[in-house]
Amino acid sequence: MAGRRVNVNVGVLGHIDSGKTALARALSTTASTAAFDKQPQSRERGITLDLGFSCFAVPLAAHPAAPGAEPAERLLQVTLVDCPGHASLIRTIIGGAQIIDLMMLVIDVTKGMQTQSAECLVIGQIACQKLVVVLNKIDLLPEDKRQAAIDKMTKKMQKTLENTKFRGAPIIPVAAKPGGPEAPETEAPQGISELIEVVKKVKTMQMFHTPVTSAMQGDRLGICVTQFDPKLLERGLVCAPESLHTVHAALISVEKIPYFRGPLQTKAKFHITVGHETVMGRLLFFSPAPDRFDQEPMLDSFDFSQEYLFQEHYLCRDSVTGSDEAPSKVGQPGEGRCPRQQWALVEFEKPVTCPRLCLVIGSRLDTDIHANTCRLAFHGTLLHGLEDRNYAESCLPSLKVYKLKHKQGLVERAMDDYSVIGRSLFKKETNIQLFVGLRVHLSTGELGIIDSAFGQSGKFKVHIPGGLSPESKKILTPALKKRGRAGRGEAARSEEGAERPEPTQHVALSLSFKRYVFDTHKRMVQSP
């Protein structure tokens, strides 16, 4: 009986020149046409430029067989995905990371963690669940100090992993190519068998180099298409019908990568990697309403029936507690509170083709590659794609993202027990008619309704349905007395130029309303 193959995809990632391709070569027994830097450009430059694929197989313990049947032999087929290490090829690295089950983080033991080593570790935290650290080039350490140097580097890597989800990950010392790239092949690699034993502990489903009738994401296949010139085909996507969609914008869940130093601002542009494509995209951040900050995150869908609060930037503890702006002014939550889930609308500069619920990574790839800084800014999941080219008119009006607006003004005087004149809430050129019917609150406790404009200088009349309280009338007494000595018509005509005594203390007016970002009519809405 032929053995059943159980396969695991293992990504080989690390800083440039850490020996990733040499490690893949030392492990592999079968190489694809794209393995070991076979491309002419790779050979010319001496670095890996694209994903390389190779594999090896090791036996697994047999399952107990039914009585009278022979035990079924199983093979663990390990597909190695050799990723580039150069900083400029981060797009390819991210693409490779999305099809792996386990990551080998290759570290040059003579140099330790380097810039791209750290970026690969961040990608690993986002894209896969298991990690093996490989300390390569141990043959370059002086023999009398080798073990001490390996132990020292092992402790450093353990400390690096301490605050990641890979805490306690295996750390294996190897020499994938003793003597370096130009050395003869006579000297055998060191530490490879120990590394294979670690990899055997991880299992997944896939076939490699075996005739199959179906395939899934992460499989590497050779496909025979008759009467077709392969030179006419560029890198693309093979998928089941209706499984992929071309989208012009998307709603994504967002989580900031803590190592990214800059803010995530609304209207900012980032390099957005979706599937195997990286395009520029502009972001608009939003969160639940503050009273829903603690609700359970929805990881596989987006609820269009809910209302969401517009955010000028992604909310995190540093941005909330370190902001100089008053929360009431910008509609942000106070007391350093952050929601359990946040979202963004991503508008792509050109359409992308991807499945729903795929991984999304935002980066600043225009950052200086020599700067010692993390270029990966955020990650998330694509929850809803907008396929209509005219999504701004057809789709976005159903996205109920609102801004909270707050305006402050003053009561200038009372006209009678049920009416006051307000000022300093609007500019002279404001069309006050748009605000008629909105509720305002007086600092003395009364509720009022904007009734009409009053004159031409931005003043307005407010109706007080419940009437002014005796305390409020007492505060506004000077203005009432002044109005009482003049006729009604005279008071209205002289409003613009006459000087009036100020009330004994100021009475403030406050107006709060929502304005929905994608409402084409720009209506102002107040909660009941």
Condensed to tens digits (0 to 9), the pLDDT of residues 65-88 reads: 555 556 566 788 888 888 876 655
* DSSP E strands, 66-139: 74-82, 102-108, 130-136
User: Bigger pLDDT: 16 or 485?
Assistant: 16
Closest CA to 446 of 477, 411, 415, 481: 411
Question: Is the pLDDT confidence value at 379 over 60?
Answer: yes
C-alpha count within 13 angstroms, C-beta hemisphere, residue 335? 4
Note the pLDDT of residue 179.
Answer: 81
- 507 backbone φψ class: left, alpha, beta (φ>0; ψ -120 to 50): beta
Residue 425 binned pLDDT confidence (cut-offs 50, 70, 90): very high
Which pLDDT does position 491 carry in this prediction?
Answer: 45
CA distance 453 to 441: 17
Tokens of 290: 């503050």
Rounded CA separation 326/328 (Å):
5
In this model, does residue 37 exceed pLDDT 80? no
Q: How far apart are CA 225 and CA 53, in angstroms?
A: 21
- Token pair for residue 253? 């869940």
How confident is the model over 6-33, as a mean pLDDT? 86
pLDDT per residue over 446-472, tens digit each?
999 999 999 989 999 999 999 999 999
Report the pLDDT averaged over residues 262-285.
93
Closest CA to 380 of 343, 422, 434: 343
Per the model's pLDDT, the better-predicted residue between 205 and 271 turns out to be 271
Residue type, 42: S
Query: Does the structure show a pLDDT above 90 at 158?
Result: yes
DSSP 500: -
d(CA 503, CA 245): 65
Q: Smallest Cα–Cα separation from 49: which of 98, 82, 12?
A: 82
d(CA 108, CA 149): 12
pLDDT of 1: 40
Burial class (CB in 10 A: 0-12, 13-18, 19+), 159: exposed
Find out whether 325 and 332 touch, Cβ atoms under 8 Å: yes
pLDDT (0 to 100) of residue 490: 47
Contact status, residue 53 vs residue 220, Cβ threshold 8 Å: yes
pLDDT digits (tens, 9 = 90+) for 300-322: 999 999 999 999 999 987 655 44
CA dihedral 196, 201, 205, 207 (to 10 degrees): 20
Question: Look-up: residue for tokens 């290490």?
Answer: 85
109 pLDDT above the threshold of 80:
yes
| pLDDT band, residue 142 (cuts 50/70/90) | very high
414 or 181, which is more confident = 414
Length of the chain: 528
**Among residues 16, 180, 193, 196, which one has the least CA distance to residue 89?**
16
Q: What is the DSSP letter of 50?
A: S
**421, 409 Cβ separation under 8 angstroms:** no
Please list, in sequence order, all residues whose beta carbon lies within 8 angstroms of the beta carbon of residue 445, skipping any fewer than 6 positions away. Answer: 469, 472
Q: Does 274 or 68 have the greater pLDDT score?
A: 274
- Alpha-carbon dihedral sign for residues 88, 218, 347, 268: negative
Q: What's the whole-model pTM score?
A: 0.77
End-to-end, the C-alpha distance of the chain in Å comes to: 72
Q: What is the mean pLDDT of residues 435-452?
A: 95
> Which run of H or E residues covers position 474?
helix 470-475
Phi, psi values for residue 106, rounded to 5°: -90, 125
Give 235's DSSP letter: S
Q: Which residue has the tokens 């490779």?
A: 96
Span 402-417, mean pLDDT? Answer: 93
